[in-house]
Structure 1
């Protein structure tokens, strides 16, 4: 019983630490994106004010940068999600807890064995 409590406490601590770290990284990324967008709009606005770029071109430039940033943020989010999945899988493996894929695989094997037993039961003379 004490071992179970220790494992649960270790799992909770590891999960809290992981989520806390991930939250800090994501909040920093969001802050950087917002700050950068404001700086870009300010910079492009100054270019328009000086007549170095047309207003329509400025809007297109800002839209292009925003779209490019969305792709970068999406890619970063995907990488963060992959890293989180990897760390959770590692944590589950260390705790000897099967993954969803392993459970699904076992469920498929059990279903197949059940079908074979049913087939054998129907074939044998009763």
Structure 2
């Protein structure tokens, strides 16, 4: 018999579910990365536009076409617009990013739990216990050296 025929339907179903779950994890990670790239590129475009606008305004001032006070007012207006747009962009992209990140964290946590990978608190607890044992061994060695003298 073929190997697949030897497996039960339940085992085949479990493998299929695991494959689907793994694909969902990969796709959610890809979605998170895509949303992050879009957000960063939009912020970069806004920053680049602001830099270009500052350069143009500086040239206008040098030519005497715009007074210094008007330049400061215009820069402040541009900064205020930029801050508003960044806040709007961040709030628009925040929710999907947060959901994707949460989903990814849950998936990774589930995988690590199934693989019996210790979490941070367990590692810290083991480290604390090792430190205590090390202190006890050091104390015993010192006690032995004192008895030999």
Shorter-normalised TM range: 0.5 to 0.7
Q: State how far apart, in whole Å, the 2-side matches of 1:31 and 1:76 are.
A: 12
Match of 1:71 in 2: 84
2:54 maps to 1:30:
no
Offset, 1:50: 1.0
Match of 1:11 in 2: 24
Q: State how far apart, in whole Å, the 1-side matches of 2:87 and 2:21 are.
A: 33
- Secondary structure at the counterpart of residue 52 of structure 1: coil
Offset, 1:4: 4.3
Runs of 4+ in 1 over 3 A off after TM superposition: 82-85
Tell which has more relative contact order, 1 or 2 (C-alpha 8 A, sep 6+).
Answer: 2
Query: Greater Rg, structure 1 or structure 2?
Result: 2
Unpaired stretches in structure 2, ≥5 consecutive residues: 1-13, 104-149
Offset, 1:81: 2.2
Report the TM-score, using the length of structure 1 for normalisation: 0.60
Unpaired stretches in structure 1, ≥5 consecutive residues: 92-126
Match of 1:100 in 2: none
